[in-house]
Structure 1
Amino acid sequence: MSSSNHNTFSLRSVLEKEKLNGSNFLEWYRNLRIVLRQEKRDYVLEKVLPEKYRSNAPQSEKNAWDKHSNDVVDVTCLMLATMNSDLQKQYENVASPIEMITSLKAMFREQARTERYQMVKSLVECKLPKDAPVSPHVIKMMGYIDNLGKLDCPISQELATTSYCSHCRRATISSS
């Protein structure tokens, strides 16, 4: 087995260990995106399969469409295979990963809302302890901000920078 096939198998096993069951959508979706990014198929979660090519289309266009079509089928099957049986039954006739993800996001919207709330709360309550080093604190805050972006709740660069700077300045002032 080649090195790249071994890596693909290892990453896919992450999805197979914990199937989507209704309470773990955000984790499952994050793992799905990681696996698909490694396989260079993550585009099928966002890019709709175009209309089939004309018979006189250039071979490169035919090849690109065939690859996209095959990737859609592979990703759809991977998604179904990593769901519990109730969700498989519900989504087995959905032909597109985009349609499936859109529907799942709507179904699990409340779960995502709760996770965003917890992440914002953690960010707002994040305080630098007296005499603690600034770098780990800033890294922790950056993690919260990055996670909010992944939860479709991005923080503007200006607000993120202001948050970092106000915490750093407070640390600098208190240490002087």
Structure 2
Amino acid sequence: MSSRNPLSVILDQNKLIGPNYHDWLRNLKIVLNSEKIAYVLTKSPPKTAKSNATKEELAELEKCWDHDLQAKSYMLASMSNELQRRFEEAVNAADIYGHLQELYGEQKRPLRHATVKELMTSRLREGASVHEHGVRMLGSLKS
């Protein structure tokens, strides 16, 4: 029997490589929910405490920073090495989550589908310049 934390096993077996973003996110949320820290994905902790903060407020802020660090560590540990390098300097978990949503979120699927369809159906017209065709194909990838 393994003495490893079952939560880390979930993330180890489901490393984010890009195309599996939605499956990875579902597993990450399972782990963060079980730790009761999923809120850090959408709520960044303040960078500093107010100058007139009470002991209770400071303790709460410290707890938020700890939760954010824990979530960020789970996120980074469960990514491919390439993605880890890309996000290791991120300020907080919400920042990483936001960037990943931009890269792999649902709103990108229709755009990717249209781009792939355009690339697959595009043909070099007879007599057309190969260079212009190549430039048009590259333009499709950038949009």
TM-score tier (shorter): 0.5 to 0.7
Q: TM-score if structure 2 supplies the norm length?
A: 0.68
TM-superposed CA distance for 1:54, in Å, is 3.2
Aligned to 1:99: 95
Please say if 1:80 is aligned against 2:106: no
Name the Cα RMSD after superposition.
Answer: 2.4
Aligned to 1:131: none
8 Å CA contact 2:44–2:94 kept in 1: the answer is yes
Relative distance call for 1:111 and 1:86 in structure 2 (3 A) is farther
8 Å CA contact 1:21–1:87 kept in 2: the answer is yes
Relative distance call for 1:109 and 1:40 in structure 2 (3 A) is closer
TM-superposed CA distance for 1:59, in Å, is 1.1
Q: TM-score if structure 1 supplies the norm length?
A: 0.56
Please say if 1:59 is aligned against 2:55: yes
TM-superposed CA distance for 1:12, in Å, is 2.5
Q: Which amino acid aligns with 1:103?
A: H
Q: Choose from 65, 72, 86 the match for 1:69.
A: 65
8 Å CA contact 1:76–1:95 kept in 2: the answer is no
Tell me whether 49-58 or 72-81 shows the greater mean CA deviation: 49-58
Q: Specify which structure has the bigger relative contact order, considering alpha-carbon pairs within 8 angstroms and separated by 6 or more residues.
A: 2
Residues paired across the two proteins, number: 109
8 Å CA contact 1:26–1:112 kept in 2: the answer is no
TM-superposed CA distance for 1:112, in Å, is 6.3
Unaligned runs of 5+ in 1: 1-5, 115-176
Give identity over the alignment, percent: 33
| C-alpha separation in 2, matches of 1:77 and 1:101 | 13
Unaligned runs of 5+ in 2: 111-143
| Structure 1 consecutive aligned stretches of length 4 or more whose deviation exceeds 4 Å | none
Q: Relative to total residues, which structure has the larger helix share, 1 or 2?
A: 1
